[in-house]
Amino acid sequence: MTQHLADALPTTTGTTPGWWRDAVIYQVYPRSFADSNGDGMGDLEGIRSRLPYLKELGVDAVWLSPFYASPQADAGYDVADYRAIDPMFGTLHDADAVIREAHDLGLRIIVDLVPNHCSDQHEWFKQALREGPGSRLRERFHFRPGKGENGELPPNDWESIFGGPAWTRVADGEWYLHLFAPEQPDFNWEHPAVQDEFRSILRFWLDLGADGFRVDVAHGLVKAPGLPDLGARDQLKLLGNDVMPFFDQDGVHEIYRSWRLILDEYEGDRVLVAEAWTPTVERTARYVRPDEMHQAFNFQYLTSDWEATALREVIDGSLAAMRPVGAPTTWVLSNHDVTRHATRFANPAGLGTQLREPGDRDLGLRRARAASLLMLALPGSAYVYQGEELGLPDVTDLPDEVRQDPSFFRAAGQDGFRDGCRVPIPWSGTEAPYGFGTGGSWLPQPDSWAELSVEAQTGDPSSTLELYRTALRLRREHPDLGAGESVDWQEAPEGVLVLRRGNFLCTANTTGTAVRLPVTGEVLLSSGDTVEDGVLPADTTVWWQVTAG
């Protein structure tokens, strides 16, 4: 099973540019994509059966969120066995089939790797608990005695990203560190066994034909020596501003250098993608230096408002930060951790990425379509989250009793509304589960989703699905789209962005009023109403073919 999958693909290792430099990568959230066995939960066989849809959509690669054996305390980001598939998703054979068939279709597969923490049901953690304080097996994690007279206080003041202390006390009195849920103990990356184990896990999936890894919490693996107090409360609010003793420590880069050497041994231009929430794009660029990872998510772009000045600033800043390290910039608007952009942009700016209000749906969709076309016009690689090609909004009114996001259940949780973007996507039909499967869906789908299904939108030129299909086709055909490392901004009225590359022009009106632009050329695609006499409708992006000069 080792080399056959990679061999089916052209090998670009050692040549530039690699396929990933301008790739459009589609994120599949396995539990919510397609359910083949009627248990209400998506699975690998469901994904396999829908690969032709992704091919037709026109993406280059698929990133699969975790499908490993897991108690699902954090929807699979709590891994109990990195080399096994959770029965709810299928078998290793199914994973092999997904990779093999994707390759046959010319699609690459990126798997999710979760190295910062595992599940409390991982064999190593269970052993560590059994062996007791002082045992060498505890050294693979961060176990510490507590503070206070009887060790009743956590070893330091770190807070979990999901709310509450980042430490949990076990029956024998020691505490262990978990930056996320208590069911997700952090590995101690100083330990050689941890380092060896992950090198072996990388090889396992590379041998199976995976084209790369999206590395979860890539900024978190190394903690500051001595695990010093942070000396502040409400630490989540500080995350975007500062290097923390548990995030973005310099030591993480050594790990990725060693991983890069492994990937480079394999044929087929395999890639590492960092999920690294860092304070600045410049800090993010450190993860994609030539001997480290290939790409990093651009969360500064994801968190930007739909506003021309802010967008231009983050676009310029991102391109400038990546240029010195020679990495492509990436762009992303939605993923499984944030409110979908159709709902973010339906709400007033500045409310963050965890929204509970539906806002103005029509406005949100109009802006989301415009934002997507702008993103797909930019040089570099773009990430599309399943369902955004259907214009799906977040489901903001899920009843509390169906919610599963672990942070929803933690006291003072500030990140607890991620279920809203994880509702299974609609494929066909007029009633839930809309072709997702035959046995319901693990989160309820709204009645209004019949008109948003793949079936309902296919062939309708005004639909969001057809907008994405056309945009991705044009992006493949047009040599200037997605290419290069810079954009050439043209003069534009306030609230409007006009960027040019060769004979391609993109105009984005982020305001609520139509504007007239002196553009002469052929309209290739518009996210909104027809463009007449150079009048660009409100909240609309238009792609143009212009003549040289």
Residues noted as catalytic: 216, 275
417 lies in the binding site for ligand NOJ (CB under 6 A): no
216 lies in the binding site for ligand NOJ (CB under 6 A): yes
Query: For residue 496, how many other CB atoms are within 10 A of its CB?
Result: 17
What is the DSSP code (8-state) at residue 537? -
Nearest to 396 by CA among 379, 376, 416, 411: 416
Query: For residue 287, how many other CB atoms are within 10 A of its CB?
Result: 27
Q: 275-304: which residues touch ligand NOJ (CB under 6 A)?
A: 275
With CB atoms as reference, the residue minimizing the distance to ligand NOJ is: 77
Query: Of 114 and 274, which CB lies nearer to ligand NOJ in the complex structure?
Result: 114
Residue choice 33, 68, 77, 299 for contact with ligand NOJ (CB under 6 A): 77
Q: Name the residue type at position 478.
A: H
What is the DSSP code (8-state) at residue 337? T
337 lies in the binding site for ligand NOJ (CB under 6 A): yes
Total residues contacting ligand NOJ by CB under 6 A comes to: 9
Nearest to 158 by CA among 172, 149, 147: 147
Q: Name the residue type at position 166.
A: A
Distant-in-sequence, close-in-space partners of 516: CB < 8 Å, separation ≥ 6: 533, 534, 535, 536
Report the nearest approach of ligand NOJ to the CB of residue 415 (Å): 8
Query: For residue 280, how many other CB atoms are within 10 A of its CB?
Result: 14
Report the nearest approach of ligand NOJ to the CB of residue 128 (Å): 19
186 lies in the binding site for ligand NOJ (CB under 6 A): no
89 lies in the binding site for ligand NOJ (CB under 6 A): no
Query: Of 180 and 543, which CB lies nearer to ligand NOJ in the complex structure?
Result: 180
421 lies in the binding site for ligand NOJ (CB under 6 A): no
Please say whether the beta carbons of 198 and 151 come within 8 A. Answer: no
Give the pairing type, strands 271-274 and 212-215. Answer: parallel
Distant-in-sequence, close-in-space partners of 276: CB < 8 Å, separation ≥ 6: 218, 219, 248, 284, 287, 296, 297
Query: Of 407 and 457, which CB lies nearer to ligand NOJ in the complex structure?
Result: 407
| Pair of tokens at residue 297 | 């998510």
Residue choice 73, 102, 217, 311 for contact with ligand NOJ (CB under 6 A): 217
Q: Say how far apart CA 180 and CA 165 lie, in whole Å.
A: 10
159 lies in the binding site for ligand NOJ (CB under 6 A): no
468 lies in the binding site for ligand NOJ (CB under 6 A): no
Q: Name the residue type at position 477.
A: E
Report the nearest approach of ligand NOJ to the CB of residue 58 (Å): 25
Residue choice 60, 74, 174, 211 for contact with ligand NOJ (CB under 6 A): 74
Q: 248-277: which residues touch ligand NOJ (CB under 6 A)?
A: 275
Residue choice 89, 141, 158, 180 for contact with ligand NOJ (CB under 6 A): 180
120 lies in the binding site for ligand NOJ (CB under 6 A): no
Interacting residue ranges for ligand NOJ, rule: CB under 6 A? 74, 77, 114, 180, 216-217, 275, 336-337
